[in-house]
Amino acid sequence: MNRPNKVVVTFGTFDVFHIGHLNILKRAAAYGDQLYVGVSSDRLNMEKKGRAPIYAEPERLAIVQHMKPVTDVFVEDSLDLKAQYLRDHNADVLVMGNDWEGKFDHLKDICEVVYLPRTEGISTTETIYKIKKYE
């Protein structure tokens, strides 16, 4: 029997990997059979967040790649190439955290677009802040 192979794609920096990251990968994977994750390049992170990530690009890629829900990773080097990345992976579903609510609705002609609620009480920025204050 031919099993439908539904492809899910999601994106993020995944710096200082935390439980919110794991949760979104697990929930994204539940939308299909394969999950591809576009991990922001160091360059794109500088552009998006105005700072270099704590963990360098190859390390962030390796960490995400080896998470159980993830089929494979690729480097996301431009926010403007989302449509291209989705086509390259034959995406059926784009999953984004709801910090991006509505921002990718124009991609609905390529695939389904789903925004998932963020895990409350944790972010990379807050974690870095906490570590800095720790004595």
Which residues bind to ligand CTP, rule: CB under 6 A? Answer: 12-15, 20-21, 23-24, 49, 96-97, 99, 118-119, 122-125
Smallest gap from residue 95 Cβ to ligand CTP (A): 8
Smallest gap from residue 80 Cβ to ligand CTP (A): 18
Instruction: Indicate the residue among 71 and 119 with the shorter CB distance to ligand CTP.
Output: 119
Which are the contacts of 25, defined by CB distance < 8 A and separation ≥ 6?
10, 35, 37, 64, 67, 69, 70
Instruction: Indicate the residue among 4 and 96 with the shorter CB distance to ligand CTP.
Output: 96
Smallest gap from residue 2 Cβ to ligand CTP (A): 31
> How distant, in Å, are the alpha carbons of 69, 73, 116, 123 from that of 31?
11, 17, 11, 23
Burial class (CB in 10 A: 0-12, 13-18, 19+), 100: middle
Tell me the residue nearest to ligand CTP as measured from the CB.
Answer: 97
Instruction: Indicate the residue among 21 and 89 with the shorter CB distance to ligand CTP.
Output: 21
Instruction: Indicate the residue among 13 and 34 with the shorter CB distance to ligand CTP.
Output: 13
**Tokens, residue 17:** 């990997």
* 99 phi, psi to nearest 5 deg: -65, -15
Smallest gap from residue 17 Cβ to ligand CTP (A): 9
Strand stretches in 82-121, DSSP E:
93-97, 112-116
